[in-house]
Amino acid sequence: MSSENKQILTTDGIPLEVSLKKAEKKNKIKAFLLVAPLLLFIIITYVFPIGDMLMRSVDDKMVTEMLPKTYKSMEKWDGKELPPEEVFKAFYTDFQKLIEEEKEGKLSTQLNYTKNGFKSIIKKLRRKSKSFEEGNYKEQIMAVHRRWADVEYWRAIKRRAPAYTYQKYLKGMDMYENEKGKIVNVPEDRRVHRILWLRTLEIAFFVTVFCFLMAYPIAHLLATLPMKYSNLLMICVLLPFWTSLLVRTASWMILLQQQGIVNDFFVMIGLVSDDNRLEMMFNKTGSYVAMTQILLPFMVLPLYSVMKTISPSLMRAGKSLGGTPFVAFWKVYFPLTIPGIGAGCLLVFILAIGYYITPALVGGASGTLISNQIAFHMKSTLDWSFASAMGLMLLSGVLVIYWLYNKLVGIDNIKLG
Amino acid sequence: MALPKYTEPHYRIWHYVYLTICSAVFFFLIAPLFVIFPLSFNAEEFLVFSDGMKRLDPDAFSLRWYQDMIYGTKNPWGLAAKNSFIIAIFATIGSVLLGTVAALGLSSRHMPYKGLIMAVLISPMIVPLIISGVAIFFFMAKVGLAATHTGIVLAHIILGTPFVVITVTATLSGFDHSVTRAAASLGSNPVNTFMKITLPLILPGVISGGLFAFVTSFDEVVVVLFLAGLENTTIPVQMWTGLREQLSPTILAVATCLIILSTLILVTAELLRRRSERLRGINR
């Protein structure tokens, strides 16, 4: 064949193409081996644990494993009326075993998540079951408390039968599966999470807007001033950037308190009277002000790095072609800064949506965000599976933005300082 | 930014409005930090400027909160500072080693799946800290490293490496690969080439990545709050507890020290950035 005749050979007599491919492959492996340690480290200590969170958030084996006989006997029960004697008997057997292992407290906590009111009746059952006689467990259990004779509670137990559940996700959106298996909203007065999600989005959105409005002019000034001045002013942006988050939050706590300097100033200029000082801390205002100042550098830096590359002659050209400075700015300069705006806004929004420390310290009850709720469930209620579910809901939102960011800006274009 | 003489009045006005806005924003950015300095020298226990301070009366100022910070008996600051530095130093070393090596691989043009791998490696920086905290806590609890220095150091390596990867890949993007080829053609082995040629050239990027990793670890509180026991307390954790419970001026003394530290880090980082740009021949 003619193509074979034309094939170029290396000095060893191997076709050049093969030899090149071999070298290429070697280089690929070399490059990959360099990345491998970090990649493995991150996957094992970080990516897998996030997967573990996912498992935890849907895992519902606990109750299933605590009441194995009950669930077996419940298979035939249609849930319309009170279950037959065999279910009660199986429940009694399971329950006795749990008392032996001292696990009945866990059961009551778990069942209480599904339906309120289990805690007390399980306690009572534990006390009374010591004197139970053999046979006719249905009557005996029902006699302990009238709720044990309520079919709703038995349906609640049955609902915990599957080993996996999406209940925690529903709970995170203030919804639940009712007795008939329909997904419905919880009563209005008990909706807490939806308010928090909306507030988180609202605060993140407005903080991003405020940051943009404040960062744009100063980034422009920094990019157009001569080097010796702009370097000096850059310190004003970089010093807060490098300063501890807690230090900056502390300074806002001092400034915004009722006897603080901001209030002093307002009193001095007569904006408010001395006995009527504004409450700016432990509410939304506190979260807004502190978060805007803390996240501002993250908006200034990407804007600055984009504006720095825009040649000033473009604006001059725009003006010389008859545009007023405003027209030249709007039609020429502004469109060129859009990549920087996108980068800055996405970065600030991502950071704001997951903020925890600052809202917890200056936000009070009305300024806390979804992160605070996650921390609350991790530390106080110890409902880790719910915390995981909320965390993953937040994460999926962030990942969408991260993906967008990657599409628009490119993840390797992130610049620091 | 002097305006040309022919500028029309309304643009002139607009220009001054613009400068005023800019000054206000700069003030908003930097002023809060300066509230802390004077108040940390307050002789009284309150976090407001006393009348004496307003009159600049020398008696209204004192170093008692600094004394309390260092010698105070019930104060955990000594332990916290020790822990913070130990953890941050080890986390920095770990992040720099892993991050630099990975960045070398990532900037090779032969690297397969570059975008995907980069996205995974950067993710700890993007994922909200509270989620990282929960996930890392589950992991450390499982392997028995919760409430140990090792666990916290590992957690901070996770959080610190993205910064090193970003800064070092950025430095390598302007790197002239013909110098390493020249070294190789002159008979140098890869390790020798790296130590003698590549490393000195990318050192500014490595150090500034290290600074980021150090600051990330030194300032990190969310993950430590999940992981730390009483013995692993760090400065940020102590500040967090202090700010939540009793806001004492001792915290402001600590904060002042932290601001001084961050100023030093800022100066170092800036000098390095300029040096790196000079080395890479970028003139801005």
A152 shares its domain with A273: no
Closest CB to A46 among B49, B124, B225: B124
A111: in domain? yes
Exposed / middle / buried, residue B185 (Cβ in 10 Å: 0-12, 13-18, 19+): exposed
A118 shares its domain with A47: no
* CB distance A394 to A313 below 8 Å: no
State how far the Cα of A237 lies from the Cα of A346, in Å rounded to an integer.
19
* CB distance B199 to A225 below 8 Å: no
State residue B85's pLDDT score.
94
State how far the Cα of A297 lies from the Cα of A294, in Å rounded to an integer.
7
Say whether residue A407 is in contact with chain B using an 8 A CB cutoff.
no
Q: How far is B218 from chain A (nearest CA, A)?
A: 8
A133-151 mean pLDDT: 83
A54-76 mean pLDDT: 85
Q: Which amino acid is it at A402?
A: Y
A223 shares its domain with A339: yes
Phi, psi of A184 (to 5 degrees): -130, 165
Q: How does DSSP assign A78-97, residue by residue?
A: -SSSPPPHHHHHHHHHHHHH
A184: in domain? no
Give the model's confidence band at B283: pLDDT under 50 very low, under 70 low, under 90 confident, else very high: very low
Question: What's the mean per-residue pLDDT of chain B?
Answer: 86
A45 shares its domain with A71: no
Per-residue pLDDT at A415 exceeds 70: no
Per-residue pLDDT at A60 exceeds 60: yes
Name the residue with higher pLDDT: A154 or B280: A154
Kindly report the number of other CB atoms within 10 A of residue A63's CB atom.
22
A222: in domain? yes
CB contact under 8 A, B128 and A37: no
Per-residue pLDDT at A302 exceeds 90: no
State residue A412's pLDDT score.
58
* CB distance A146 to A136 below 8 Å: no
Closest CB to A49 among B121, B136, B273: B136
- The two structure tokens encoding residue A132: 């139970």
State residue B134's pLDDT score.
93
- Give residue-wise pLDDT tens across range A187-245: 888 888 888 899 999 999 999 999 999 999 999 999 988 888 888 888 888 898 888 89
State residue A198's pLDDT score.
92
Domain count, chain A: 3
A233: in domain? yes
State how far the Cα of A143 lies from the Cα of A125, in Å rounded to an integer.
10
A177: in domain? no
Q: Which amino acid is it at B124?
A: P
CB contact under 8 A, B240 and A357: yes
Per-residue pLDDT at A269 exceeds 80: yes
State how far the Cα of A67 lies from the Cα of B144, in Å rounded to an integer.
30
- Give how far the C-alpha of residue A294 lies from the chain's centroid of Cα atoms, to the nearest Å: 19
* CB distance B282 to B273 below 8 Å: no
A54 shares its domain with A73: no
* CB distance A203 to A369 below 8 Å: yes
Closest CA to B133 of A388, A360, A196, A37: A388
Q: Which of A125-134, A208-217, A242-251, A344-353 is predicted most confidently?
A: A208-217
A185: in domain? no
Phi, psi of A187 (to 5 degrees): -55, 150
A321-328 mean pLDDT: 82
A131-144 mean pLDDT: 82
State how far the Cα of A390 lies from the Cα of A410, in Å rounded to an integer.
28
State how far the Cα of B102 lies from the Cα of A39, in Å rounded to an integer.
8
Per-residue pLDDT at A96 exceeds 60: yes
* CB distance B41 to B62 below 8 Å: yes
The SS3 call for residue B188 is: coil
A36: domain range? 16-58
A138-147 mean pLDDT: 84
- Give residue-wise pLDDT tens across range B72-113: 766 788 888 999 999 999 999 999 999 999 999 998 888 888
CATH number of the domain enclosing A371: 1.10.3720.10
Q: CA A88, A92, A98, A104: dihedral to nearest 10 degrees? A: 70
Q: Which of A5-14, A140-149, B37-46, B121-130 is predicted most confidently?
A: B121-130
B203-210 mean pLDDT: 87
A29 shares its domain with A67: no
Q: How far is A291 from chain B (nearest CA, A)?
A: 11
Specify which residues A185 forms β-bridges with. A175
B20-25 mean pLDDT: 94
Say whether residue A321 is in contact with chain B using an 8 A CB cutoff.
no
Q: How far is B256 from chain A (nearest CA, A)?
A: 8
Per-residue pLDDT at A7 exceeds 70: yes
Name the residue with higher pLDDT: B90 or B208: B90
Q: List all residues 6 or more positions away from B172 whose beta carbon is below 8 Å from its beta carbon.
A: B103, B104, B107, B202, B205
Per-residue pLDDT at A2 exceeds 70: no
State residue B66's pLDDT score.
82
Q: Record the pTM.
A: 0.85
Task: Kindly state the DSSP code that residue A322 receives in the 8-state scheme.
Answer: T
Residue A81 backbone class (left: φ over 0; alpha: ψ -120 to 50; beta: rest): beta
High-pLDDT (> 90) share of chain B, %: 37
Per-residue pLDDT at B241 exceeds 60: yes
A148 shares its domain with A203: no
The nearest alpha carbon in chain A to B171 belongs to A415
A176: in domain? no
- The two structure tokens encoding residue A184: 């419905």
The nearest alpha carbon in chain B to A226 belongs to B1
Closest CA to B118 of A298, A411, A174: A411
Question: What's the mean per-residue pLDDT of chain A?
Answer: 85
State how far the Cα of B217 lies from the Cα of B85, in Å rounded to an integer.
9
Question: Domains in chain B and their CATH numbers?
Answer: 78-279 (1.10.3720.10)
Closest CA to B160 of B112, B98, B253: B98
Chain A residues whose beta carbon lies within 8 Å of the beta carbon of residue B138: 49, 52-53, 56, 384
A28 shares its domain with A45: yes
Name the residue with higher pLDDT: B66 or B5: B66
A45 shares its domain with A82: no
A54 shares its domain with A72: no
CB contact under 8 A, A308 and B284: yes
State how far the Cα of B38 lies from the Cα of B50, in Å rounded to an integer.
11
State residue A346's pLDDT score.
87
A145 shares its domain with A197: no
State residue A417's pLDDT score.
46
CB contact under 8 A, A42 and B111: no
- The two structure tokens encoding residue A301: 């830096």
* CB distance B228 to A234 below 8 Å: no
- The two structure tokens encoding residue A263: 């209030």
| Residue of B16, B47, B95, B126 best to disrupt the A interface, most CBs of A under 10 A | B126
Say whether residue A197 is in contact with chain B using an 8 A CB cutoff.
no
Give the model's confidence band at A284: pLDDT under 50 very low, under 70 low, under 90 confident, else very high: confident
Q: How far is A286 from chain B (nearest CA, A)?
A: 14
Q: Mutual orientation of helices B129-142 and B149-173 as an angle, nearest 10°?
A: 130
Closest CB to A250 among B117, B225, B243: B243
- Give residue-wise pLDDT tens across range B117-161: 988 998 998 899 999 999 999 999 999 998 899 999 999 999 999
- The two structure tokens encoding residue A108: 């009551």
- The two structure tokens encoding residue B207: 């150090």
A125 shares its domain with A150: yes
State residue A352's pLDDT score.
92
A296: in domain? yes
